[in-house]
Amino acid sequence: MHTPTSHAFKDNARRALGDPQLQQAMSHVKKNFIEKRAKAAARLPEFEALRDAARSIKDHTLANLDIYLEAYEAKVKEAGGHVHWCADAESARQTVLRLCRAAKARTVTKGKSMIGEEIAINDFLEENGITPVETDLGEYIIQLRHELPSHIIAPAIHLTKEQVADAFREAHTDLDPNRPLTEPRDMLAEARAKLRDRFLKADVGITGANFLIAETGSSVIVTNEGNGDLTQILPRVHIVLASLEKVVPTLEDASTILRVLARSATGQEMSVYTTFSTGPRRADDADGPDEYHVVLLDNGRSKMLGSEFAEALRCIRCGACLNHCPVYQAVGGHAYGWVYSGPIGAVLNPALIGVEEAGDLPNASTFCGRCESVCPMRIPLPKMMRHWREREFERHLTPPRHRLGLKLWAFLATHPALYRLTASLAARLLGALGGKRGRFAALPLAQGWTAHRDMPAPEGRSFQSLWAAGNRNAGKQP
């Protein structure tokens, strides 16, 4: 089980900043994700309107979530599938185990699933004698390295190709140790060959779901590799892991949201494989699974639904917020310490694992707003991070020194005469101390600042004192 390290965010971040390999890997994010998304958005004139439409669909669905989930369940059953409602991670794990045991599963292939990470299903299956095999290339790599994904759609983005090669050499011991493994091409070919065998032999295939369609009882996966498809059509049993908020009413609704998903994620017009699966194989189908199970997971979603964090349930896991966040770019995904990273992680992780554990995350933001500006579902991420800060303040989780500072400042700010006096004195004092140099290299109580920057000195008089003294033009000297 991956124990969260969100509480150690500051240490994680420090280490990440000092990690040259990580910094090199993260430097790719700007060029690849940011520029590509911008191009794709610019190319589609209706892009902004589609974001609004996508948002409306999700808002409507969430306001009627129980109704649509029941409708969805009915269609799944009609198609010969099963829906398993799970309130929490533990019951989801047990359900998956039960299904795998019933299928006498020895190996299980997995398409990429953030829910799978959330419930730590891989470790659990292994503990119970079943071998899970990640098939998404990025997930496969991090599975070999026993790591969490560091990005919602590019799990191995934090790694250099040398690190990938090392992981392959260590794991694929049956291959010639002297084989060339310097180019991504070689590594991809090796992974493809290795995983092809696992695909064909798997007893159970587990996928996530980008969408669940109430109209038809379908689950939708979106991939570029095709691994999700091989995972779900080859084994005897197909298990879908999906959280409650994945449901949308109709095929048209899914089509609308699909238009903003790939464009926001990778800048593609459409991902290579978008697959709608409905139930097990039909009587005369040539291939496909015999059984189809949907594990429908709450794990904190219903609680979020009734809270000021409900809008985060619109998330379609595109990763755009991560890609555009300067904090994420600086420290990478692992620093956030749990399954979700970047701005969405800063909002979700406290909701799912508690604000005592993940409280740093919504604080490690300048509220620059870039995330919200690119979110296809228009989730007001900074606003929700602020709500977490409010919760922390109410519960006195804010450091006492900070609270004291705020109280002092608020007192001054609500007593204008005292404020003016204080500002005037401070301007004079700091202005004088700043002297000819005009700046401070060090300042008591301001170590956080002066460790990395000089502190400019004030001009030496406060504006209000000058104005009160009759100055009406520029021209005040220290």
Beta-bridge partner residues of 207: 240
Name the residue nearer to other proteins (CB basis): 129 or 410.
Answer: 410
478 binds other proteins (CB under 8 A): yes
463 binds other proteins (CB under 8 A): yes
CA–CA gap between residue 211 and residue 300 (Å, rounded): 18
Task: Candidates 102, 182, 402, 433: give the one binding other proteins (CB under 8 A).
Answer: 402
Please report where in the chains the tokens 């060090």 appear, as a residue: 442
Name the residue nearer to other proteins (CB basis): 258 or 315.
Answer: 258
User: Of 249, 252, 244, 251, which is closest to residue 209 (Cα–Cα)?
Assistant: 244
157 binds other proteins (CB under 8 A): yes
Q: At 351, list the tokens.
A: 């909701």
Give residues 428-457 in contact with other proteins (rule: CB under 8 A).
435-439, 441, 446, 448-449, 451-457
**Nearest approach, Cβ of 10 to other proteins (angstroms)?**
7
147 binds other proteins (CB under 8 A): no
**Nearest approach, Cβ of 419 to other proteins (angstroms)?**
4
Give residues 349-378 in contact with other proteins (rule: CB under 8 A).
363-370, 372-373
Distances (CA, A) of 419 to 118, 416, 445, 467, 469: 49, 5, 20, 15, 16
Q: Judged by CB under 8 A, which stretch of 80-88, 124-132, 202-210, 315-323 contacts other proteins?
A: 80-88
348 binds other proteins (CB under 8 A): no
Q: At 282, list the tokens.
A: 């039909």
302 binds other proteins (CB under 8 A): yes
* Burial (CB count <10 Å: 0-12, 13-18, 19+), residue 163: middle
CA–CA gap between residue 246 and residue 68 (Å, rounded): 11
Q: How many residues can be counted in the chain?
A: 478
462 binds other proteins (CB under 8 A): yes
User: Of 306, 352, 298, 303, which is closest to residue 85 (Cα–Cα)?
Assistant: 298
85 binds other proteins (CB under 8 A): yes
Q: Judged by CB under 8 A, which stretch of 100-108, 119-127, 336-344, 417-425 contacts other proteins?
A: 417-425
Name the residue nearer to other proteins (CB basis): 131 or 274.
Answer: 274
Q: At 132, list the tokens.
A: 């899970």
Task: Candidates 10, 39, 77, 101: give the one binding other proteins (CB under 8 A).
Answer: 10
**Nearest approach, Cβ of 413 to other proteins (angstroms)?**
4
5 binds other proteins (CB under 8 A): no
**Nearest approach, Cβ of 184 to other proteins (angstroms)?**
4
**Nearest approach, Cβ of 124 to other proteins (angstroms)?**
18
Give residues 226-265 in contact with other proteins (rule: CB under 8 A).
226-227, 229-230, 233-234, 244, 249-253, 255-256, 258-259
**Nearest approach, Cβ of 339 to other proteins (angstroms)?**
18
Name the residue nearer to other proteins (CB basis): 109 or 122.
Answer: 109
Q: Are strands 107-110 and 211-213 parallel, antiparallel or unpaired?
A: unpaired
> In sequence order, which residues have a C-beta less than 8 Å from that of residue 184 and are 6 or more positions away?
161, 164
> In sequence order, which residues have a C-beta less than 8 Å from that of residue 30 and are 6 or more positions away?
329
> In sequence order, which residues have a C-beta less than 8 Å from that of residue 383 and are 6 or more positions away?
none
Task: Candidates 42, 287, 400, 444: give the one binding other proteins (CB under 8 A).
Answer: 287
Q: Judged by CB under 8 A, which stretch of 124-132, 171-179, 211-219, 338-346 contacts other proteins?
A: 211-219
DSSP count for the chain of H helices, then E strands:
25, 12
Give residues 105-134 in contact with other proteins (rule: CB under 8 A).
none
Task: Candidates 3, 185, 400, 401: give the one binding other proteins (CB under 8 A).
Answer: 185
Q: Judged by CB under 8 A, which stretch of 113-121, 122-130, 156-164, 170-178 contacts other proteins?
A: 156-164
179 binds other proteins (CB under 8 A): no
> In sequence order, which residues have a C-beta less than 8 Å from that of residue 120 and are 6 or more positions away?
1, 2, 89, 93
Backbone angles phi, psi at 239, to 5 degrees: -110, 130
CA–CA gap between residue 37 and residue 51 (Å, rounded): 14
Size of the site for other proteins (CB under 8 A): 175
Q: Are strands 247-248 and 82-86 parallel, antiparallel or unpaired?
A: unpaired
53 binds other proteins (CB under 8 A): yes
102 binds other proteins (CB under 8 A): no
CA–CA gap between residue 471 and residue 459 (Å, rounded): 15
Exposed e or buried b for every residue in 456-478, given b needs 16+ CB within 10 A?
A: ebbbebbeebbeeeeeeeeeeee
**Nearest approach, Cβ of 373 to other proteins (angstroms)?**
6
Task: Candidates 278, 317, 354, 421: give the one binding other proteins (CB under 8 A).
Answer: 278
User: Of 82, 105, 14, which is closest to residue 335 (Cα–Cα)?
Assistant: 14
